[in-house]
Structure 1
Amino acid sequence: MGLFKTNPFGHNLFIKKWLIRILAVLSHQRYKRFNTLEIEGSDIIRNLPDKNVLFVSNHQTYFADVVAMFHVFNASLSGREDSIKNLGYIWQPKLNMYYVAAAETMKKSLLTKIMAYAGSVSVERTWRAEGQDVKRQVKMSDISNIGKALNDGWVITFPQGTTTPWKPLRKGTAHIIKKYKPVVVPVVIDGFRRSFDKKGLRIKKKGILQSMVIKEPLQIDYENESSESIIEKLEYAIEQHPSFLKVISKADLLAYEEENNQRKFKNS
Protein backbone atom coordinates (compact mmCIF):
# COMPACT_ATOMS: atom_id res chain seq x y z
CA MET A 1 0.00 0.00 0.00
CA GLY A 2 1.45 3.35 -1.07
CA LEU A 3 1.89 6.20 1.38
CA PHE A 4 -0.48 8.41 -0.55
CA LYS A 5 -3.27 5.98 -1.43
CA THR A 6 -6.71 7.22 -0.35
CA ASN A 7 -10.21 5.79 -0.01
CA PRO A 8 -13.28 7.20 -1.84
CA PHE A 9 -13.67 9.87 0.86
CA GLY A 10 -10.13 11.18 0.41
CA HIS A 11 -8.79 9.67 3.64
CA ASN A 12 -5.17 8.58 3.49
CA LEU A 13 -5.11 4.81 4.06
CA PHE A 14 -1.67 4.81 5.69
CA ILE A 15 -2.88 7.32 8.29
CA LYS A 16 -6.18 5.44 8.71
CA LYS A 17 -4.33 2.16 9.31
CA TRP A 18 -2.23 3.69 12.09
CA LEU A 19 -5.23 5.37 13.68
CA ILE A 20 -7.09 2.03 13.78
CA ARG A 21 -4.03 0.31 15.25
CA ILE A 22 -3.62 2.93 17.98
CA LEU A 23 -7.32 3.05 18.86
CA ALA A 24 -7.40 -0.76 18.98
CA VAL A 25 -4.44 -0.93 21.39
CA LEU A 26 -6.02 1.71 23.64
CA SER A 27 -9.45 0.03 23.68
CA HIS A 28 -8.65 -3.70 23.70
CA GLN A 29 -8.59 -4.13 27.49
CA ARG A 30 -12.09 -2.64 27.74
CA TYR A 31 -13.45 -5.84 26.19
CA LYS A 32 -10.83 -8.34 27.27
CA ARG A 33 -9.71 -7.48 30.80
CA PHE A 34 -12.04 -5.04 32.55
CA ASN A 35 -15.05 -6.80 31.03
CA THR A 36 -15.57 -9.98 29.02
CA LEU A 37 -16.85 -9.96 25.44
CA GLU A 38 -18.62 -13.17 24.38
CA ILE A 39 -18.78 -13.58 20.59
CA GLU A 40 -20.81 -15.77 18.22
CA GLY A 41 -20.60 -15.90 14.44
CA SER A 42 -16.95 -15.38 13.48
CA ASP A 43 -17.37 -17.94 10.68
CA ILE A 44 -20.13 -15.78 9.15
CA ILE A 45 -17.75 -12.81 8.97
CA ARG A 46 -15.13 -14.85 7.13
CA ASN A 47 -17.63 -15.98 4.49
CA LEU A 48 -18.81 -12.50 3.51
CA PRO A 49 -17.84 -10.74 0.26
CA ASP A 50 -15.26 -7.95 0.49
CA LYS A 51 -17.74 -5.25 -0.56
CA ASN A 52 -21.39 -4.24 -0.37
CA VAL A 53 -22.10 -5.66 3.10
CA LEU A 54 -24.38 -3.77 5.50
CA PHE A 55 -24.29 -4.70 9.19
CA VAL A 56 -27.40 -3.65 11.10
CA SER A 57 -27.35 -3.65 14.89
CA ASN A 58 -29.11 -2.46 18.00
CA HIS A 59 -27.32 0.43 19.71
CA GLN A 60 -26.26 0.83 23.35
CA THR A 61 -23.48 3.47 23.42
CA TYR A 62 -22.18 6.06 20.98
CA PHE A 63 -18.75 4.51 20.41
CA ALA A 64 -18.08 1.33 22.43
CA ASP A 65 -20.41 -0.74 20.21
CA VAL A 66 -18.74 0.10 16.93
CA VAL A 67 -15.20 -0.12 18.36
CA ALA A 68 -16.01 -3.63 19.58
CA MET A 69 -17.22 -4.52 16.09
CA PHE A 70 -13.95 -3.31 14.57
CA HIS A 71 -12.13 -5.64 16.99
CA VAL A 72 -14.41 -8.63 16.37
CA PHE A 73 -14.59 -8.29 12.58
CA ASN A 74 -10.81 -7.91 12.18
CA ALA A 75 -10.12 -10.75 14.61
CA SER A 76 -12.56 -12.99 12.74
CA LEU A 77 -10.99 -12.17 9.37
CA SER A 78 -7.55 -13.07 10.72
CA GLY A 79 -8.76 -16.52 11.81
CA ARG A 80 -9.76 -15.99 15.44
CA GLU A 81 -12.72 -18.18 16.39
CA ASP A 82 -15.19 -16.11 18.42
CA SER A 83 -12.27 -14.44 20.19
CA ILE A 84 -10.28 -11.20 20.26
CA LYS A 85 -7.27 -12.77 21.98
CA ASN A 86 -3.84 -11.68 20.77
CA LEU A 87 -4.12 -8.15 19.38
CA GLY A 88 -1.89 -9.02 16.44
CA TYR A 89 -5.01 -9.22 14.28
CA ILE A 90 -5.15 -5.42 14.15
CA TRP A 91 -1.75 -5.04 12.49
CA GLN A 92 -3.36 -5.44 9.07
CA PRO A 93 -6.91 -4.15 9.66
CA LYS A 94 -9.66 -4.15 7.07
CA LEU A 95 -9.44 -0.57 5.81
CA ASN A 96 -12.63 -0.56 3.74
CA MET A 97 -14.85 -0.78 6.83
CA TYR A 98 -17.12 2.13 7.77
CA TYR A 99 -19.84 3.01 10.24
CA VAL A 100 -22.73 5.47 9.97
CA ALA A 101 -22.69 8.20 12.62
CA ALA A 102 -24.29 11.59 13.26
CA ALA A 103 -22.17 14.40 11.82
CA GLU A 104 -22.96 16.53 14.87
CA THR A 105 -21.47 13.91 17.18
CA MET A 106 -18.33 13.34 15.12
CA LYS A 107 -17.40 17.05 15.16
CA LYS A 108 -17.53 17.54 18.93
CA SER A 109 -13.92 16.87 19.93
CA LEU A 110 -10.48 15.93 18.68
CA LEU A 111 -11.11 12.31 19.67
CA THR A 112 -14.37 12.09 17.72
CA LYS A 113 -12.67 13.67 14.69
CA ILE A 114 -9.93 11.03 14.89
CA MET A 115 -12.56 8.31 15.14
CA ALA A 116 -14.39 9.82 12.16
CA TYR A 117 -11.21 9.61 10.08
CA ALA A 118 -10.86 5.97 11.09
CA GLY A 119 -14.11 5.06 9.36
CA SER A 120 -17.16 7.26 9.89
CA VAL A 121 -19.72 8.01 7.20
CA SER A 122 -21.17 11.11 8.84
CA VAL A 123 -24.81 11.97 8.16
CA GLU A 124 -27.14 14.75 9.29
CA ARG A 125 -29.84 13.48 11.63
CA THR A 126 -33.31 14.30 10.36
CA TRP A 127 -35.05 14.07 13.73
CA ARG A 128 -32.68 15.69 16.25
CA ALA A 129 -30.09 18.47 16.28
CA GLU A 130 -28.21 20.07 19.19
CA GLY A 131 -30.42 18.33 21.73
CA GLN A 132 -33.69 19.49 20.15
CA ASP A 133 -36.29 17.57 18.18
CA VAL A 134 -36.37 18.64 14.54
CA LYS A 135 -37.98 17.46 11.32
CA ARG A 136 -36.02 17.86 8.12
CA GLN A 137 -35.48 16.13 4.80
CA VAL A 138 -32.88 13.44 4.32
CA LYS A 139 -29.85 14.81 2.49
CA MET A 140 -29.35 12.88 -0.72
CA SER A 141 -25.60 13.38 -0.37
CA ASP A 142 -25.76 11.36 2.86
CA ILE A 143 -27.50 8.48 1.06
CA SER A 144 -24.92 8.71 -1.72
CA ASN A 145 -22.05 8.61 0.75
CA ILE A 146 -23.41 5.43 2.36
CA GLY A 147 -23.70 3.96 -1.13
CA LYS A 148 -20.12 5.00 -1.84
CA ALA A 149 -18.96 3.25 1.33
CA LEU A 150 -20.90 0.09 0.43
CA ASN A 151 -19.39 0.12 -3.03
CA ASP A 152 -15.95 0.23 -1.39
CA GLY A 153 -16.49 -2.23 1.46
CA TRP A 154 -18.48 -2.90 4.64
CA VAL A 155 -20.78 -0.49 6.48
CA ILE A 156 -22.08 -0.74 10.06
CA THR A 157 -25.32 1.06 10.84
CA PHE A 158 -27.59 1.39 13.87
CA PRO A 159 -31.02 1.90 12.26
CA GLN A 160 -32.79 2.98 15.46
CA GLY A 161 -30.62 6.10 15.55
CA THR A 162 -30.69 6.07 19.36
CA THR A 163 -29.23 4.10 22.26
CA THR A 164 -32.70 3.74 23.82
CA PRO A 165 -33.93 0.14 23.34
CA TRP A 166 -37.02 -0.89 21.36
CA LYS A 167 -37.37 2.37 19.48
CA PRO A 168 -38.69 2.19 15.88
CA LEU A 169 -36.17 1.72 13.08
CA ARG A 170 -35.57 4.59 10.67
CA LYS A 171 -37.16 3.91 7.29
CA GLY A 172 -34.11 5.29 5.51
CA THR A 173 -32.34 2.01 6.22
CA ALA A 174 -34.87 0.14 4.08
CA HIS A 175 -34.41 2.73 1.32
CA ILE A 176 -30.65 2.14 1.35
CA ILE A 177 -31.14 -1.64 1.23
CA LYS A 178 -33.53 -1.47 -1.72
CA LYS A 179 -31.32 1.02 -3.58
CA TYR A 180 -27.89 -0.57 -3.13
CA LYS A 181 -28.89 -4.24 -2.58
CA PRO A 182 -26.21 -5.09 -0.01
CA VAL A 183 -25.74 -8.33 1.86
CA VAL A 184 -27.52 -7.50 5.16
CA VAL A 185 -25.99 -9.01 8.29
CA PRO A 186 -27.80 -8.57 11.65
CA VAL A 187 -25.71 -8.08 14.80
CA VAL A 188 -27.19 -8.23 18.30
CA ILE A 189 -25.20 -6.75 21.19
CA ASP A 190 -25.78 -6.65 24.92
CA GLY A 191 -23.96 -5.58 28.07
CA PHE A 192 -22.46 -2.39 26.66
CA ARG A 193 -24.91 -0.01 28.35
CA ARG A 194 -24.05 -1.63 31.69
CA SER A 195 -20.30 -1.51 31.05
CA PHE A 196 -19.90 2.04 29.72
CA ASP A 197 -21.32 5.53 29.97
CA LYS A 198 -23.66 6.67 27.20
CA LYS A 199 -20.81 7.87 25.00
CA GLY A 200 -19.02 4.57 25.41
CA LEU A 201 -15.77 6.28 26.40
CA ARG A 202 -15.73 5.83 30.18
CA ILE A 203 -15.90 2.42 31.88
CA LYS A 204 -18.88 2.61 34.23
CA LYS A 205 -18.70 -0.87 35.71
CA LYS A 206 -16.19 -3.71 35.54
CA GLY A 207 -16.81 -7.45 35.38
CA ILE A 208 -19.75 -7.20 32.98
CA LEU A 209 -20.41 -9.93 30.44
CA GLN A 210 -20.82 -8.26 27.06
CA SER A 211 -22.10 -10.20 24.08
CA MET A 212 -22.09 -9.88 20.30
CA VAL A 213 -24.01 -12.29 18.11
CA ILE A 214 -23.45 -12.10 14.35
CA LYS A 215 -26.34 -13.71 12.50
CA GLU A 216 -26.65 -15.20 9.03
CA PRO A 217 -27.38 -12.68 6.23
CA LEU A 218 -31.06 -11.90 5.74
CA GLN A 219 -32.99 -13.12 2.71
CA ILE A 220 -34.43 -9.99 1.08
CA ASP A 221 -36.32 -9.54 -2.18
CA TYR A 222 -34.83 -6.19 -3.14
CA GLU A 223 -37.17 -5.60 -6.05
CA ASN A 224 -40.53 -6.71 -4.67
CA GLU A 225 -40.36 -6.52 -0.89
CA SER A 226 -41.83 -3.37 0.65
CA SER A 227 -39.86 -1.03 2.88
CA GLU A 228 -42.26 -1.83 5.73
CA SER A 229 -41.58 -5.55 5.33
CA ILE A 230 -37.82 -4.97 5.33
CA ILE A 231 -38.03 -2.82 8.47
CA GLU A 232 -40.06 -5.48 10.25
CA LYS A 233 -37.56 -8.13 9.20
CA LEU A 234 -34.71 -6.00 10.58
CA GLU A 235 -36.56 -5.40 13.86
CA TYR A 236 -36.93 -9.12 14.43
CA ALA A 237 -33.35 -9.83 13.36
CA ILE A 238 -31.77 -7.36 15.81
CA GLU A 239 -34.35 -8.29 18.46
CA GLN A 240 -35.94 -4.85 18.66
CA HIS A 241 -39.41 -5.66 17.38
CA PRO A 242 -42.21 -4.50 19.75
CA SER A 243 -43.24 -8.13 20.25
CA PHE A 244 -40.04 -8.70 22.25
CA LEU A 245 -41.49 -6.47 24.96
CA LYS A 246 -44.12 -9.13 25.66
CA VAL A 247 -41.46 -11.50 27.01
CA ILE A 248 -39.75 -8.85 29.16
CA SER A 249 -41.06 -8.34 32.66
CA LYS A 250 -42.43 -4.97 33.69
CA ALA A 251 -39.76 -4.71 36.37
CA ASP A 252 -36.97 -5.26 33.83
CA LEU A 253 -38.51 -2.73 31.46
CA LEU A 254 -38.74 -0.11 34.22
CA ALA A 255 -35.13 -0.83 35.16
CA TYR A 256 -34.07 -0.28 31.54
CA GLU A 257 -35.90 3.04 31.40
CA GLU A 258 -34.51 4.19 34.75
CA GLU A 259 -30.98 3.28 33.73
CA ASN A 260 -31.39 5.11 30.43
CA ASN A 261 -32.68 8.22 32.21
CA GLN A 262 -29.74 8.17 34.60
CA ARG A 263 -27.30 7.85 31.71
CA LYS A 264 -28.94 10.80 29.97
CA PHE A 265 -28.73 12.89 33.15
CA LYS A 266 -25.07 12.07 33.73
CA ASN A 267 -24.13 12.92 30.15
CA SER A 268 -26.26 16.05 29.74
Structure 2
Amino acid sequence: MGLFKTNPFGHILFIKKWLIRVLGAITHRRFRGFNELQIEGSEIIKDLPEKNVLFISNHQTYFADVVAMFHVFNASLSGRTDSIKNIGYLWNPKLNIYYVAAKETMKAGLLPKILAYVGSVSIERTWRSEGKDVKRQVKMSDISNIGKALDDGWVITFPQGTTTPFKPIRKGTAHIIKRYKPVVVPIVIDGFRRSFDKKGLRVKKKNILQSMEIKAPLDIDYDNETTEDIVKKIEYAIEQHPSFLKVIPEAELKAQAELDKLRKWKIDD
Protein backbone atom coordinates (compact mmCIF):
# COMPACT_ATOMS: atom_id res chain seq x y z
CA MET A 1 0.00 0.00 0.00
CA GLY A 2 1.48 3.34 -1.07
CA LEU A 3 1.97 5.83 1.72
CA PHE A 4 -0.46 8.31 0.19
CA LYS A 5 -2.91 5.92 -1.45
CA THR A 6 -6.48 7.12 -0.98
CA ASN A 7 -9.96 5.64 -1.03
CA PRO A 8 -12.74 6.94 -3.35
CA PHE A 9 -13.52 9.73 -0.85
CA GLY A 10 -9.95 11.06 -0.80
CA HIS A 11 -9.07 9.68 2.65
CA ILE A 12 -5.44 8.57 2.95
CA LEU A 13 -5.50 4.85 3.80
CA PHE A 14 -2.29 4.98 5.85
CA ILE A 15 -3.88 7.58 8.16
CA LYS A 16 -7.17 5.68 8.25
CA LYS A 17 -5.36 2.47 9.23
CA TRP A 18 -3.63 4.16 12.16
CA LEU A 19 -6.83 5.85 13.29
CA ILE A 20 -8.58 2.45 13.39
CA ARG A 21 -5.66 0.93 15.31
CA VAL A 22 -5.54 3.72 17.91
CA LEU A 23 -9.29 4.17 18.34
CA GLY A 24 -9.77 0.40 18.41
CA ALA A 25 -7.20 0.01 21.18
CA ILE A 26 -8.84 2.81 23.19
CA THR A 27 -12.37 1.42 22.83
CA HIS A 28 -11.69 -2.31 23.18
CA ARG A 29 -12.36 -2.40 26.94
CA ARG A 30 -15.81 -0.91 26.37
CA PHE A 31 -16.82 -4.22 24.83
CA ARG A 32 -14.49 -6.58 26.65
CA GLY A 33 -13.78 -5.11 30.05
CA PHE A 34 -16.20 -2.52 31.41
CA ASN A 35 -18.95 -4.46 29.67
CA GLU A 36 -19.03 -7.74 27.79
CA LEU A 37 -20.14 -8.00 24.17
CA GLN A 38 -21.88 -11.28 23.40
CA ILE A 39 -21.55 -12.06 19.69
CA GLU A 40 -23.54 -14.52 17.61
CA GLY A 41 -23.19 -15.37 13.93
CA SER A 42 -19.83 -13.73 13.19
CA GLU A 43 -18.80 -16.70 11.04
CA ILE A 44 -21.05 -15.16 8.36
CA ILE A 45 -18.60 -12.26 8.00
CA LYS A 46 -15.77 -14.44 6.66
CA ASP A 47 -17.85 -15.67 3.71
CA LEU A 48 -18.99 -12.27 2.45
CA PRO A 49 -17.67 -10.77 -0.80
CA GLU A 50 -15.02 -8.06 -0.65
CA LYS A 51 -17.47 -5.33 -1.70
CA ASN A 52 -21.14 -4.44 -2.30
CA VAL A 53 -22.27 -5.62 1.13
CA LEU A 54 -24.85 -3.59 3.06
CA PHE A 55 -25.24 -4.19 6.79
CA ILE A 56 -28.60 -3.08 8.19
CA SER A 57 -29.07 -2.73 11.94
CA ASN A 58 -31.24 -1.27 14.65
CA HIS A 59 -29.63 1.75 16.28
CA GLN A 60 -29.00 2.52 19.98
CA THR A 61 -26.18 5.08 20.17
CA TYR A 62 -24.56 7.46 17.69
CA PHE A 63 -21.09 5.90 17.67
CA ALA A 64 -20.73 2.85 19.95
CA ASP A 65 -22.82 0.65 17.63
CA VAL A 66 -20.51 1.28 14.67
CA VAL A 67 -17.33 0.97 16.75
CA ALA A 68 -18.47 -2.42 18.03
CA MET A 69 -19.13 -3.57 14.46
CA PHE A 70 -15.64 -2.49 13.37
CA HIS A 71 -14.24 -4.66 16.18
CA VAL A 72 -16.42 -7.68 15.37
CA PHE A 73 -15.92 -7.52 11.60
CA ASN A 74 -12.13 -7.27 11.84
CA ALA A 75 -11.90 -9.93 14.54
CA SER A 76 -13.96 -12.30 12.41
CA LEU A 77 -11.85 -11.63 9.30
CA SER A 78 -8.79 -12.47 11.42
CA GLY A 79 -10.17 -15.93 12.21
CA ARG A 80 -11.98 -15.36 15.49
CA THR A 81 -15.51 -16.71 15.90
CA ASP A 82 -17.93 -14.75 18.09
CA SER A 83 -15.02 -13.18 19.95
CA ILE A 84 -12.98 -9.97 20.02
CA LYS A 85 -10.39 -11.39 22.40
CA ASN A 86 -6.84 -10.16 21.79
CA ILE A 87 -6.81 -6.94 19.77
CA GLY A 88 -4.11 -8.13 17.38
CA TYR A 89 -6.80 -8.12 14.69
CA LEU A 90 -6.52 -4.32 14.64
CA TRP A 91 -3.02 -4.37 13.20
CA ASN A 92 -4.24 -5.06 9.68
CA PRO A 93 -7.86 -3.86 9.64
CA LYS A 94 -10.22 -3.91 6.68
CA LEU A 95 -10.01 -0.37 5.33
CA ASN A 96 -13.06 -0.37 3.03
CA ILE A 97 -15.72 -0.43 5.75
CA TYR A 98 -18.04 2.59 5.73
CA TYR A 99 -21.08 3.68 7.70
CA VAL A 100 -23.92 6.05 6.85
CA ALA A 101 -24.30 8.96 9.29
CA ALA A 102 -26.00 12.34 9.50
CA LYS A 103 -23.73 15.11 8.23
CA GLU A 104 -24.58 17.45 11.12
CA THR A 105 -23.63 14.73 13.65
CA MET A 106 -20.24 14.12 12.04
CA LYS A 107 -19.37 17.84 12.05
CA ALA A 108 -20.23 18.40 15.73
CA GLY A 109 -16.77 18.51 17.28
CA LEU A 110 -13.26 17.18 16.74
CA LEU A 111 -13.91 13.55 17.72
CA PRO A 112 -16.85 13.11 15.32
CA LYS A 113 -14.68 14.58 12.55
CA ILE A 114 -11.98 12.01 13.34
CA LEU A 115 -14.58 9.23 13.36
CA ALA A 116 -15.88 10.52 10.03
CA TYR A 117 -12.40 10.09 8.53
CA VAL A 118 -12.43 6.46 9.65
CA GLY A 119 -15.34 5.70 7.33
CA SER A 120 -18.41 7.94 7.44
CA VAL A 121 -20.59 8.43 4.38
CA SER A 122 -22.20 11.62 5.63
CA ILE A 123 -25.66 12.48 4.33
CA GLU A 124 -28.21 15.22 4.93
CA ARG A 125 -31.25 13.83 6.72
CA THR A 126 -34.48 14.60 4.88
CA TRP A 127 -36.70 14.44 7.94
CA ARG A 128 -34.78 16.15 10.74
CA SER A 129 -32.23 18.93 11.12
CA GLU A 130 -30.75 20.56 14.24
CA GLY A 131 -33.34 18.89 16.46
CA LYS A 132 -36.33 20.00 14.38
CA ASP A 133 -38.60 18.12 11.99
CA VAL A 134 -38.07 19.11 8.36
CA LYS A 135 -39.08 17.91 4.91
CA ARG A 136 -36.32 17.95 2.33
CA GLN A 137 -35.69 16.27 -0.99
CA VAL A 138 -33.15 13.47 -1.02
CA LYS A 139 -29.82 14.70 -2.37
CA MET A 140 -28.78 12.52 -5.29
CA SER A 141 -25.13 13.12 -4.36
CA ASP A 142 -25.81 11.38 -1.03
CA ILE A 143 -27.26 8.35 -2.82
CA SER A 144 -24.32 8.34 -5.21
CA ASN A 145 -21.83 8.45 -2.33
CA ILE A 146 -23.46 5.41 -0.71
CA GLY A 147 -23.22 3.66 -4.07
CA LYS A 148 -19.56 4.67 -4.32
CA ALA A 149 -18.91 3.17 -0.87
CA LEU A 150 -20.70 -0.07 -1.82
CA ASP A 151 -18.66 -0.26 -5.00
CA ASP A 152 -15.50 -0.02 -2.88
CA GLY A 153 -16.45 -2.22 0.07
CA TRP A 154 -18.91 -2.71 2.94
CA VAL A 155 -21.44 -0.18 4.23
CA ILE A 156 -23.22 -0.12 7.60
CA THR A 157 -26.55 1.68 7.74
CA PHE A 158 -29.28 2.18 10.32
CA PRO A 159 -32.47 2.26 8.24
CA GLN A 160 -34.62 3.81 10.98
CA GLY A 161 -32.37 6.87 11.03
CA THR A 162 -32.81 7.26 14.79
CA THR A 163 -31.79 5.63 18.07
CA THR A 164 -35.44 5.50 19.19
CA PRO A 165 -36.70 1.89 18.96
CA PHE A 166 -39.56 0.76 16.71
CA LYS A 167 -39.55 3.84 14.52
CA PRO A 168 -40.49 3.30 10.85
CA ILE A 169 -37.90 2.11 8.35
CA ARG A 170 -36.87 4.86 5.93
CA LYS A 171 -37.73 3.89 2.37
CA GLY A 172 -34.44 5.31 1.16
CA THR A 173 -32.70 2.14 2.33
CA ALA A 174 -35.02 0.02 0.19
CA HIS A 175 -34.37 2.25 -2.82
CA ILE A 176 -30.62 1.84 -2.33
CA ILE A 177 -31.02 -1.94 -2.14
CA LYS A 178 -33.04 -2.05 -5.36
CA ARG A 179 -30.63 0.27 -7.16
CA TYR A 180 -27.26 -1.23 -6.16
CA LYS A 181 -28.34 -4.85 -5.43
CA PRO A 182 -25.95 -5.42 -2.51
CA VAL A 183 -25.71 -8.47 -0.28
CA VAL A 184 -27.89 -7.36 2.66
CA VAL A 185 -26.80 -8.61 6.09
CA PRO A 186 -29.07 -7.86 9.10
CA ILE A 187 -27.62 -7.17 12.54
CA VAL A 188 -29.55 -6.93 15.82
CA ILE A 189 -27.88 -5.21 18.77
CA ASP A 190 -28.96 -4.72 22.38
CA GLY A 191 -27.57 -3.37 25.65
CA PHE A 192 -25.80 -0.38 24.12
CA ARG A 193 -28.29 2.26 25.25
CA ARG A 194 -28.05 0.92 28.80
CA SER A 195 -24.26 0.92 28.94
CA PHE A 196 -23.48 4.13 27.00
CA ASP A 197 -24.79 7.66 26.81
CA LYS A 198 -26.79 8.57 23.69
CA LYS A 199 -23.70 9.53 21.71
CA GLY A 200 -21.99 6.27 22.64
CA LEU A 201 -18.87 8.07 23.84
CA ARG A 202 -19.24 7.75 27.63
CA VAL A 203 -19.71 4.58 29.64
CA LYS A 204 -22.62 5.32 31.96
CA LYS A 205 -22.97 1.88 33.55
CA LYS A 206 -20.65 -1.10 33.89
CA ASN A 207 -21.36 -4.84 33.84
CA ILE A 208 -24.05 -4.56 31.17
CA LEU A 209 -24.36 -7.48 28.78
CA GLN A 210 -24.25 -6.10 25.26
CA SER A 211 -25.26 -8.36 22.39
CA MET A 212 -24.78 -8.44 18.63
CA GLU A 213 -26.44 -11.02 16.41
CA ILE A 214 -25.32 -11.20 12.80
CA LYS A 215 -27.92 -12.92 10.64
CA ALA A 216 -27.70 -14.65 7.28
CA PRO A 217 -28.03 -12.38 4.21
CA LEU A 218 -31.59 -11.59 3.17
CA ASP A 219 -33.09 -13.30 0.15
CA ILE A 220 -34.22 -10.37 -2.01
CA ASP A 221 -35.65 -10.33 -5.52
CA TYR A 222 -34.14 -6.97 -6.49
CA ASP A 223 -36.11 -6.62 -9.72
CA ASN A 224 -39.56 -7.79 -8.68
CA GLU A 225 -39.96 -6.92 -5.00
CA THR A 226 -41.35 -3.47 -4.24
CA THR A 227 -39.76 -1.01 -1.83
CA GLU A 228 -42.64 -1.78 0.55
CA ASP A 229 -41.78 -5.50 0.40
CA ILE A 230 -38.15 -4.77 1.19
CA VAL A 231 -39.05 -2.39 4.02
CA LYS A 232 -41.13 -5.13 5.64
CA LYS A 233 -38.27 -7.61 5.31
CA ILE A 234 -35.93 -5.12 6.95
CA GLU A 235 -38.37 -4.51 9.83
CA TYR A 236 -38.54 -8.20 10.65
CA ALA A 237 -34.84 -8.86 10.05
CA ILE A 238 -33.65 -6.21 12.52
CA GLU A 239 -36.56 -7.00 14.87
CA GLN A 240 -38.17 -3.58 14.64
CA HIS A 241 -41.53 -4.59 13.19
CA PRO A 242 -44.45 -3.48 15.42
CA SER A 243 -45.27 -7.13 16.12
CA PHE A 244 -42.15 -7.32 18.30
CA LEU A 245 -43.88 -4.89 20.68
CA LYS A 246 -45.99 -7.85 21.77
CA VAL A 247 -42.83 -9.24 23.31
CA ILE A 248 -41.67 -5.92 24.76
CA PRO A 249 -44.72 -3.77 25.60
CA GLU A 250 -44.49 -0.23 24.23
CA ALA A 251 -45.48 1.19 27.63
CA GLU A 252 -42.51 -0.60 29.19
CA LEU A 253 -40.14 0.86 26.59
CA LYS A 254 -41.43 4.39 27.25
CA ALA A 255 -41.19 3.92 31.01
CA GLN A 256 -37.60 2.71 30.67
CA ALA A 257 -36.71 5.71 28.49
CA GLU A 258 -38.11 8.13 31.07
CA LEU A 259 -36.26 6.32 33.85
CA ASP A 260 -32.99 6.59 31.94
CA LYS A 261 -33.45 10.37 31.74
CA LEU A 262 -33.78 10.63 35.52
CA ARG A 263 -30.83 8.45 36.35
CA LYS A 264 -27.41 10.00 36.89
CA TRP A 265 -24.76 7.41 36.30
CA LYS A 266 -21.38 7.76 37.93
CA ILE A 267 -18.62 8.26 35.38
CA ASP A 268 -15.89 5.70 36.08
CA ASP A 269 -12.33 6.27 35.04
Amino acid at match of 2:159: P
Matched residues, percent identical? 78
Q: How many residues align?
A: 263
2:149, 2:262 → 1: CA distance? 35
Q: Which residue of 1 aligns with 2:267?
A: none
Given that 1:40 and 1:82 are in contact with CA atoms closer than 8 Å, whether structure 2 keeps it comes out as yes
- Look up the SS of the partner of 1:163 in the other structure: coil
Structure 2 residue matching 1:118: 3-state secondary structure: helix
Q: TM-score, normalised by structure 2?
A: 0.96
- Across the aligned residues of Structure 1 and Structure 2, the Cα RMSD in angstroms comes to 1.2
Secondary structure at the counterpart of residue 246 of structure 2: helix
The C-alpha deviation readout for 1:56-84, integer Å capped at 9, x for no partner, is: 00000000000000000000000011000
What residue is the counterpart of 1:140 in the other structure?
140
Q: Measure how far apart 1:42 and its partner are.
A: 1.4
Q: Contact conserved, 1:164 with 1:260, CA < 8 A, in 2? A: no
Q: Structure 1 CA distance, aligned partners of 2:230 and 2:256?
A: 27
Q: What is residue 34 of structure 2 aligned with on the other side?
A: 34
1:266 matched residue in structure 2: none
Change (3 A) 1:50 1:250: closer
Matching of residues 112-261 of structure 1 within 5 Å: 112-249=112-249, 252-259=252-259
Kindly state the Cα deviation for residue 261 of structure 1 after the two structures are TM-superposed: 5.3
Q: Secondary structure at the match of 1:99?
A: strand
Query: How many Å separate the matches in 2 of 1:153 and 1:229?
Result: 26
Quote the offset at 1:260 in angstroms.
6.2
Q: For residues 260 and 183 of structure 1, do their structure 2 counterparts lie closer, same or farther at Cα, with a shift above 3 Å needed?
A: farther
State the 1:247 CA deviation: 2.0
- Aligned equivalents of 1:250 and 1:147: distance in 2? 36
Deviation of residue 249 (structure 1)?
Answer: 3.3
- 1:138-178 deviations in whole A, cap 9, x for unaligned? 00000000000000000000000000000001000000000
Counterpart in the other structure of 1:48? 48
The aligned counterpart of 1:25 is 25
Matched, 1:59 2:59: yes
Secondary structure in structure 2 of the residue aligned to 1:210: strand
- Tell me how far 1:257 sits from its aligned partner: 3.5
Give secondary structure in 1 for the equivalent of 2:11.
Answer: coil
Q: 1:160 to 1:262 in 2, by over 3 A?
A: farther
1:103-150 deviations in whole A, cap 9, x for unaligned?
000001111000000000000000111111110000000000000000
How far off is 1:259 after superposition?
A: 4.5
Letter in 1 for 2:7: N
2:31 is paired with a residue of what secondary structure? helix
Question: TM-score by structure 1 length?
Answer: 0.96
